[in-house]
């Protein structure tokens, strides 16, 4: 018998990130400096059937993310031989990667809103988000090479597939130099530069999330999955996947509801949540 999915009960227990519902269907995740709770938060949100879109931002006024604490990297020595130390490094790297990839696994679209310093791990996290908007004051850096390692938790694995100029990407990754919001847009890393700083970009991203939250959640879920699938598979394989996916999903009522609403000139459709069998999360 398959385990029934555990019901989420997330409350205000998170210390280093803050969750809020600023508008219907929109979840706002604000990161503080520590990211330990990052994966746990996304796992819970993924099971919250009232969510339709997520905005990820920093809670700090001048810093989106300052990178991994170097003392952590130095702590990996466990007084064992090089073979077993290697296995430990691999296990912890794999867990770290899994955490950073949480926005990508999340069924709902995730909008990153960056500002201030976006350093090292900050770019890794950014690369795992679906839509990437930035304040004009942001300064980015693929910092890892400057601290003596090749970045292994997401930036180098995802960026070659999601930006449009490999030469610029190699330059930024191989020099670890700072680059501006404009250069991030030229690269294809972000798609919108919002005038101002943290407040302005968060406000704009929340507006975008509200817009997405009004669409059919079946349509939004499928659109995200299909775009991610296409990034990783051949075109023919994705077409086949889409047709197979829609065998079941297209039998949902959302398309008919939309058409009926259009005929009846109703502006907004009340789509059912994705997982009506899940209790809404109320303890937040």
Residue among 57 and 216 whose Cβ is closer to a second copy:
216
Q: Is residue 20 within a helix (H) or strand (E), and if so which, with residue range?
A: strand 17-23
Q: Map the footprint of a second copy across residues 122-181, applying CB under 8 A.
A: 130-133, 144-154, 156-171, 173-177
Extended strands (E) in 68-109: none
Q: Which stretch binds a second copy (CB under 8 A): 18-26, 55-63, 72-80, 194-202?
A: 72-80
Cα 135 from Cα 182, distance rounded (Å): 10
Out of 191, 195, 199, 280, name the contact with a second copy by CB under 8 A. Answer: 191
Does 190 interact with a second copy (rule: CB under 8 A)? yes
Site string for a second copy, 243-262 (x = CB under 8 A): xxxxxxxxxxxxxxxxx--x
Nearest residue to 48 (alpha-carbon basis) of 128, 111, 107, 130: 107
Q: Which stretch binds a second copy (CB under 8 A): 20-28, 59-67, 195-203, 273-281?
A: 273-281
Does 12 interact with a second copy (rule: CB under 8 A)? no
Least distance to a second copy, CB of residue 104, Å: 8
> In the 8-state DSSP scheme, what is residue 147?
G
Cα 160 from Cα 222, distance rounded (Å): 24
Out of 8, 25, 103, 109, name the contact with a second copy by CB under 8 A. Answer: 109
- Please list, in sequence order, all residues whose beta carbon lies within 8 angstroms of the beta carbon of residue 55, skipping any fewer than 6 positions away: 26, 27, 28, 29, 110, 111, 113, 202, 205, 206, 209
Print burial letters for 60-79: b (CB count within 10 Å at least 16), e (below 16). Answer: beebbbbbbeeeeeeeeeee
Residue among 22 and 259 whose Cβ is closer to a second copy:
259
Least distance to a second copy, CB of residue 126, Å: 9
Does 3 interact with a second copy (rule: CB under 8 A)? yes
Does 7 interact with a second copy (rule: CB under 8 A)? no
Does 211 interact with a second copy (rule: CB under 8 A)? yes
Instruction: Return the SS3 of 63.
Output: strand
Does 60 interact with a second copy (rule: CB under 8 A)? no
Least distance to a second copy, CB of residue 2, Å: 4
Extended strands (E) in 72-191: 110-114, 117-119, 131-135, 139-141, 179-180
């Amino acid at each position: 018998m398959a385990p029934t999915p555990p019901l989420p009960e997330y409350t205000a227990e998170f210390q280093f990130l803050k969750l809020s519902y600023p508008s219907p269907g929109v979840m706002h995740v604000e990161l503080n400096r520590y990211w330990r709770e990052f994966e746990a938060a996304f796992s819970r949100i993924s099971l919250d059937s009232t969510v339709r879109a997520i905005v990820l931002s920093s809670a700090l006024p001048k810093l989106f993310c300052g990178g991994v604490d170097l003392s952590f990297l130095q702590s990996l020595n466990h007084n064992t031989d090089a073979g077993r130390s290697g296995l430990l490094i691999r296990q912890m790297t794999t867990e770290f990667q899994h955490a950073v990839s949480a926005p990508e696994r999340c069924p709902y679209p995730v909008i990153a809103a960056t500002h201030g310093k976006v350093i090292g791990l900050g770019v890794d996290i950014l690369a795992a988000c679906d839509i990437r908007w930035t304040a004009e004051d942001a300064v980015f850096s693929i910092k890892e090479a400057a601290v003596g390692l090749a970045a292994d938790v997401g930036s180098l694995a995802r960026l070659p597939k999601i930006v449009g100029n490999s030469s610029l990407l190699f330059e930024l990754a191989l020099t670890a130099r700072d680059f501006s919001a404009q250069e991030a847009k030229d690269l294809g890393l972000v798609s919108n530069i919002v005038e101002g700083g943290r407040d302005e970009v968060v406000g704009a991203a929340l507006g975008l999330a509200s817009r997405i939250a009004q669409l059919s959640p079946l349509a939004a879920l499928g659109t995200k999955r299909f775009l991610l699938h296409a990034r990783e598979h051949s075109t023919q394989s994705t077409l086949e996947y889409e047709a197979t996916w829609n065998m079941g999903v297209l039998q949902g009522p959302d398309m008919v509801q939309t058409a009926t609403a259009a005929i009846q000139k109703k502006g907004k459709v009340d789509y059912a949540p994705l997982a009506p069998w899940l209790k809404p999360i109320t303890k937040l």
